[in-house]
Structure 1
Amino acid sequence: MPSPTPNLRRSLMKNWFAVEAIPIYVIIGGVLVGASWYVARLATGPTIIWTKNNPTPWNTIKPDEGTKLMSVNQKFEKRTFDGLPEDGEEDWPIAGPLIPSLGGSMDLPAIVYGAGTFSNQYNPDDHLSGALPLRSVRLALRYGIRAFDTSAYYGPSEIVLGDALHALREEFPRSSYKLMTKCGRYGVQTFDYSPATIRKSVLRSLERLKTDYLDTVYLHDVEFVCTPIAPRITGNHTVALREEAAAYGLAKGDEAKVQGEGDQKILDAFHELQLMKKEGLIKNIGMTGFPLPTLLRLSILILHTAPFEPLDVLLSYSHLCLQNASFLEFIPHFYERAKVGQLLAASPLSMGLLTPSPPSWHPAPPKLREAVINSGKTWQGDYVNLAVGFSIRQTGSAEKPLPLVIGFSSPREVHEAVKVWREIQDGAEERIQGENRARNVYNELGYLDWSWASP
């Protein structure tokens, strides 16, 4: 057989490369199509979050419903307990007084279990899918901590908590504890207060928590949705109660003033929760957020808007802690001006700020973080213990005692919190001296009762 001519060889090689390149073209085309779809999805569809642990985080709500409810790792959606973990010594309360109920309209315990710890902000998937959450919940219930705070925003928290409580239903039936969750926030920058999404969010929370009613549903982080009214976004905001009331929208005569479109979104979402309350799906309606003047203004607005019913409950976080206790000055105004039925304080450690290793995502500026380190040097013992004790003492000594929401990741942390609570009941003179020294450091550095920006 004769050898191919040079021209024939070049032709064959050219065609061969073209054929061999077909798979490469297919791959490149697939990547481009996928990238285009992804960009379009982000621009027009429900917000989704792609992470290593959650490669396909499909929503449980269909895209054409126009909602932004984020799903979580499917391992949590399908997770069940085949059997309860065996009781060890650590799974039973240490002898002594149990956490009491404070009575009142909601009959909440002095300590509420903060289930925000059942999220990747605080714990990895391996922890959340193991037995520690269930054991922590069981121990808390045995100690008398019979109320739980969670949110649609806290990743798998509702699922993990719902599975644990369902597994414990024989020892602790649904009637023996309170369930409190939140709606309206579904991602770091994802908020949807539309009535349709509020309703779908609550219905999904019912499903995830395996219950047919919720004791409380909060509108989550209202400051990100409402119309902003404030002369500054950082600092000590107690001036809103006095000389700068008008600048914060708290002047007499402004009680029913809707400041803008954001305020109307709050009112519309609140109205939807009122409808669900009448349907028996919700027992109490509340609101959460960070800036205290904003919470007070919106609470007053709700009271002065038809049907002129006050909030049943309001939750403030990081404002009744060792570094910032300004909630104490606002409390009488929430009761008297806004007629709020029940107040709660959360996060005695200020979302981990008052711990040896604050989370990297914490909004506190570097100088405040330095102030925490310097404040910690004034106490010979465990600064975390001192900080938790401060919040327990303050909530317990208020004119109307407040439930304190504390996050727990393990049985050890539950034991430690109860231990501190018991110490406070027995007297706290040495602690009070330590608290004063710690707070003096914040005062000297200009960070006592100082609030960071939110949003």
Structure 2
Amino acid sequence: MRRHDLGRTGIEVPALAMGAASLGSIYHPVSQDEADATVATALECDLNYFDVAPYYGLTTAETALGKALKGFARQSYTLATKIGRYGDQDWDFSADATKRSIEASLGRLGTDHIDVIQCHDIEYGDLAQLRNEALPTLRKLKEEGVVRFIGVTGYRLDVVEKIAVEEQVDTVMAYCTYTLQDRRLAPVAERLAAAGIGVLNASPLGMGLLTTRGAPSWHPGNERVFELVAAAARLCTLAGTDISELAMRFALTTGHEHGIATTVVGTANAHNVRENARWADSEPDATLLKQVEAILAPVMDAGWDVLPGNGGKAGG
């Protein structure tokens, strides 16, 4: 597994990082045995960066991950969680909520420190409160050694880049914006990386968009995007492969050239972890990639903030 520096943090991350949201049974029930097997397989495959949040499964993902990591040496993995988002439409970047959230996360995760603490989906919260309360609180906790590095996450690239640069945070994680169909993160990541900020790309399958099943019913995307991605998926099937594999190979092997340190992929299945790890070390089929790009050209870089869809963004 290729590894890259996470900005100026000194943390070396695998090209593929483990998203732990699925461990919280947010898509289907996941037993602790399944969570344990998924985490153990990830570590076996050298995927030792775990990303989670209190919001995922309303704390159950953190709890499952903490139990699954029990028995593994703390220095053998990097642990990232979040503050600020606690429900579908519940954001709180106050100092008190931030301190309470971190204390609770430490307990659920079974650790005395968090490597990367991230302010979650910041564009939907109170940005003044984020600047004036959450970030100063996190900096104090950093001085105390409770957290090592501070980051922000979100979908709105203009917002996350502005806050990251002005507040000099350590990391940025963006969702669904470096995929086969939407690559707007690339120039932003290049600028952030040049500023020494570690960039994480999350959801390279576009929250289920780039799969043979297609976008789930709650997906906020646009019908034209759905239509063309479905056509691209059919082409991949005819070529004897799966659009998910092509999408994963694309994101995992090309992101670093744009300053992306790692791509965060969630699963609660040990077999999927092994498949994802295998895909991380092999380039996509160049001919098929060009054919798929031609199909997607009319909707390239068209996220749901660009083309209104049938859903609505988080918090909307």
User: Under a length normalisation based on structure 1, what TM-score does the superposition of the two structures give?
Assistant: 0.63
The match for 1:139 among 36, 41, 46 is 41
The match for 2:174 among 316, 319, 322 is 316
- What SS class does the counterpart of residue 154 from structure 1 fall into? coil
Cα 1:143/1:134, change in 2 over 3 Å: same
1:388: which partner in 2? Answer: 248
**How many angstroms apart in 2 are the aligned matches of 1:263 and 1:138?**
38
1:366: which partner in 2? Answer: 223
Shift of residue 219, structure 1, vs aligned partner: 0.3
**How many angstroms apart in 2 are the aligned matches of 1:350 and 1:323?**
8
Task: Tell me which structure has the larger Cα radius of gyration.
Answer: 1
1:377: which partner in 2? Answer: 234
Does the 8 Å CA contact 1:314/1:340 hold for their aligned counterparts?
A: no
Deviations 1:290-311 (A, max 9, x none): 0111111222332xxxxxxx11
Structure 1 position 405 matched with structure 2 position 264: yes
**How many angstroms apart in 2 are the aligned matches of 1:363 and 1:385?**
23
Cα 1:291/1:407, change in 2 over 3 Å: same
**How many angstroms apart in 2 are the aligned matches of 1:183 and 1:281?**
14
5 Å matches for 1:4-403? 99-104=1-6, 105-124=10-29, 127=30, 129-155=31-57, 156-166=60-70, 169=71, 172-225=72-125, 262-267=126-131, 268-302=133-167, 310-336=168-194, 339-357=195-213, 358-379=215-236, 380=239, 381-398=241-258, 400=259, 402-403=261-262
**How many angstroms apart in 2 are the aligned matches of 1:270 and 1:150?**
19
Cα 1:401/1:154, change in 2 over 3 Å: closer
Percent identity among equivalent residues? 29
Shift of residue 366, structure 1, vs aligned partner: 2.6
**How many angstroms apart in 2 are the aligned matches of 1:201 and 1:412?**
32
Shift of residue 345, structure 1, vs aligned partner: 0.8
1:421: which partner in 2? Answer: 280
**How many angstroms apart in 1 are the aligned matches of 2:16 and 2:199?**
13
Shift of residue 109, structure 1, vs aligned partner: 1.6
Higher strand share: 2
Shift of residue 146, structure 1, vs aligned partner: 0.6
Does the 8 Å CA contact 2:175/2:202 hold for their aligned counterparts?
A: yes
Deviations 1:25-62 (A, max 9, x none): xxxxxxxxxxxxxxxxxxxxxxxxxxxxxxxxxxxxxx
**How many angstroms apart in 1 are the aligned matches of 2:193 and 2:28?**
36
Gaps of 5+ in 2: 306-312
4+ long deviations beyond 6 Å: none
CA RMSD in angstroms comes to: 1.6
- What SS class does the counterpart of residue 345 from structure 1 fall into? strand
- What SS class does the counterpart of residue 423 from structure 1 fall into? coil
- What SS class does the counterpart of residue 161 from structure 1 fall into? helix
Deviations 1:100-151 (A, max 9, x none): 4324522112211000111333222xx2x24111111101101110110000
**How many angstroms apart in 2 are the aligned matches of 1:384 and 1:270?**
37
Shift of residue 340, structure 1, vs aligned partner: 4.5
Shift of residue 395, structure 1, vs aligned partner: 1.8
| Number of residues of Structure 1 aligned to a counterpart in Structure 2 | 297
Does the 8 Å CA contact 2:193/2:260 hold for their aligned counterparts?
A: no
**How many angstroms apart in 2 are the aligned matches of 1:150 and 1:100?**
22
Q: Which amino acid aligns with 1:342?
A: G
Shift of residue 359, structure 1, vs aligned partner: 2.5
Shift of residue 401, structure 1, vs aligned partner: 5.2
**How many angstroms apart in 2 are the aligned matches of 1:221 and 1:180?**
15
2:310: which partner in 1? Answer: none
1:439: which partner in 2? Answer: 293
**How many angstroms apart in 1 are the aligned matches of 2:116 and 2:245?**
29
**How many angstroms apart in 1 are the aligned matches of 2:282 and 2:12?**
23
Q: Which amino acid aligns with 1:288?
A: T
1:79: which partner in 2? Answer: none
- What SS class does the counterpart of residue 206 from structure 1 fall into? helix
Q: Which amino acid aligns with 2:101?
A: S
- What SS class does the counterpart of residue 181 from structure 1 fall into? strand
Deviations 1:331-352 (A, max 9, x none): 222234xx34211111111111
**How many angstroms apart in 2 are the aligned matches of 1:365 and 1:136?**
33
Shift of residue 180, structure 1, vs aligned partner: 0.2
Does the 8 Å CA contact 1:149/1:181 hold for their aligned counterparts?
A: yes
